[in-house]
Amino acid sequence: MSDLVNINIDGKPCAVPAGLNVIEAAKLAGVEIPHFCYHPNLQVAGSCRLCLVSIGTPARDRATGEPVLNPDGTQKIAFMPMLAISCGTKVSEGMHVVTNSPQVKAAREGVLEFLLLNHPLDCPICDKAGECKLQEYSENFGRGRSRYVEEKNAKPKKVPVAGGRIMLDAERCVLCSRCIRFCREIIGRDIFGFIRRGSKNEISVYGDDGGDSNYIMNVVDGCPVGALTEAAFRFKMRPWFMRVVNCVAPESSAGVNTNVWVRENTIYRITPRANPFVNDSWTSDSSRYEYKIVNSDLRLRRMRVDGAPCEPGYALSRAVDVLKSDPRIAVVASARQPLEEQFLLAEFASMAGAKVYAVSHLGEDDGFLVSADRTPNMRGLFVSGLIKEYPKPDLSDLAAEIRMGNIKTVLCLCEDATSLGLEEKDFKLANFVYCGVNDSLTARLAKVALAISSNFEHAGLFINRQFRLQKFDKAVCAPKGVLDFSAIAVKFINAFGASLAENPDIGQLRMRISEMCPILPKGCETGEGGVVIDSSAFASIKFPETKSLHFLDNE
């Protein structure tokens, strides 16, 4: 940990890490300093002036350098005559910060009043209402009523940005420049900019409006007010009606932390959740719409035996029959399943004496938050002991074994084997049990197809590219007739002679796997930001990810 410095905020002494700015230090001390332009992951602009506080440092005699004392012997604090911005001031030893003086209060009221001069005050029809900083601060720190009686300036409204994915309403903008800085610093080119001066100053977009960027939506989360709103989410749901579930994006091995917003078993949007070790405050645009799988037409919704829909109980017992029909068995593991399910599959594979196959799904590494490995939990396959080498992108090995007659039964998880080197005739040579979220040709050809819950419908653990173990919660309930793979796997394992508790509780499962695997923390407790597990056993494996945000950059 970095060194601590002693400061005093509103009369309360506290020790905070050196190098912090006053906003962050006050947050640690439990004091909120309102701010618009400051964002922890962007450069400091110091332009909104809402974070003004009075700051004083211990007084020293100019000539001698001796500390100046008050008559009562305490150190005299020299306050600066003007207020200072807390976002642009770093804490120093002995610093005094006052955030509740009449002077500070007047400054905040002034700034908020100026910001509201040309604001349309249209909260009832604004989509950001309920999570708008201007609304909150006006309520908490504002004057309460405006003294402005003149005409307001009108600015452009409903401007489509980023190919229509974002709506810009310049009248609501507080000119914080976060969107400008995000595009410049993170996307790497200018997309937003200010035009005109003074009260006519407004936010605007260049001709290249970032429609091709996979990160532009982050400006919507960054915008403290309703100036930038997400077109797909606009007017769908008020923020205060929704519940927020902590999840991890299953998009790639980056393991981006996300908030999934749910109301009455429906997911309305996904936004990034800040994790300074993984994704800062950002996520890719593509990861925001992954929840569509939950209600997609591609989904496998009913269990099937020999292609005919049937009840889950019957399908399960048929699946057990198929798996026990021949000892020449293989399993196709999936790097898209959470760690708990991978461990259960590994247990099944060892009890049934099955050969294990897996498939890698590779894409282009964008050097930021979409990594080359497009599965969230490839590391989990290694940790659970299912595989030892980085898998091929297809199942050609399995196909060859089936054709030679060495494999007669296959338990295939999630992978659409028909697009990975297996042909229709192979399904005649071996009996397939398919467990998957999506319907596919494999599901239709398999002897038994079992519908399982998606990663939004169960809790679990993923291990990302940093070997960081992260947990995610269950966002919604699976559709009727769809089972968790963990429940199915326990049935299979028990069919081969074990006696595990049916419908295992996630806590017990985690405790069990942490006992089986010493590199996992006890009970797989990951804490807030996840824990990095010891990966020395896997050092020789060649993973495809390249250097990107918080990955390989400080090693």
Partner 1 sequence: MWISRITKRICAGGGRLEDPDLLLSIADGICGRTVCAHGEGMAWPVQSNVSKFKDEYLAKIRRQLAGEGASRLDNNSYRLI
The residue within the footprint of ligand FES, chosen from 26, 38, 228, 495 (CB under 6 A), is 38
Kindly write out the interface string for residues 49-68 of this chain, putting x where it contacts ligand FES by CB under 6 A and - elsewhere: xxx-----------------
Taking residues 6 to 35 in sequence order and writing x for each that binds ligand FES by CB under 6 A, - otherwise, the string is -----------------------------x
Query: 160: part of which helix (H) or strand (E)?
Result: strand 159-161
Q: Which tokens belong to 322?
A: 């198929």
* Residue 175 near which of ligand SF4, partner 1, ligand FES, none (CB within 5-8 Å, type-dependent): ligand SF4
Q: Which of 166, 225, 331, 386 binds ligand SF4 (CB under 6 A)?
A: 225
Q: Of 191, 244, 246, which is closest to residue 219 (Cα–Cα)?
A: 191
> With CB cut-offs between 5 and 8 Å by kind, which of ligand FES, ligand SF4, partner 1, none does residue 228 bind?
ligand SF4
Residue type, 255: G
Q: Which of 510, 512, 546 is nearest to 531 (CA)?
A: 510
Kindly state the smallest distance separating residue 45's Cβ from ligand FES, in Å.
Answer: 7
Q: Is 464 in the site for ligand SF4 (CB under 6 A)?
A: no
Q: Counting contacts by CB under 6 A, is residue 85 touching ligand FES?
A: yes
**Minimum CB distance to ligand FES, residue 216 (Å):** 23
Q: In this chain, which of 91, 175, 260, 344 binds ligand SF4, going by CB under 6 A? A: 175
Strands 431-436 and 448-451 come out as parallel
Q: Which residues of 516-539 are buried (b: 16+ CB within 10 A; e: fewer)?
A: ebeebeeebebeeebbebebeebe
Site residue total, ligand SF4 (CB under 6 A): 14
For ligand FES, give the closer residue by CB, 95 or 414: 95
Rule CB under 6 A: say whether 173 interacts with ligand SF4. Answer: yes
Q: Pick from 155, 165, 178, 269: which binds ligand SF4 (CB under 6 A)? A: 178
How far is the C-alpha of 467 from the C-alpha of 533, rounded, in Å?
6
Stretch that binds partner 1, among 45-53, 308-316, 447-455, 541-549 (CB under 8 A): 45-53
117 binds partner 1 (CB under 8 A): yes
First to last CA, the chain: 18
Could you say whether residue 223 binds ligand SF4 (CB under 6 A)?
A: yes
Q: Per CB under 8 A, does 82 bind partner 1?
A: yes
Beta strands in 452-544 (DSSP E): 460-463, 468-472, 531-532
Which residues on neighbouring strands pair with residue 310, listed in sequence order?
Answer: 303
- What is the three-state SS of 379-422? HHHHHCCCCCCCCCCCCHHHHHHHHCCCCCEEEEECCCHHHCCC
Q: Which residues pair with 207 in a beta bridge?
A: none
For binding to ligand FES (CB under 6 A), which residues are involved?
35-38, 46-51, 85, 87
For binding to ligand SF4 (CB under 6 A), which residues are involved?
173-179, 203, 222-225, 227-228
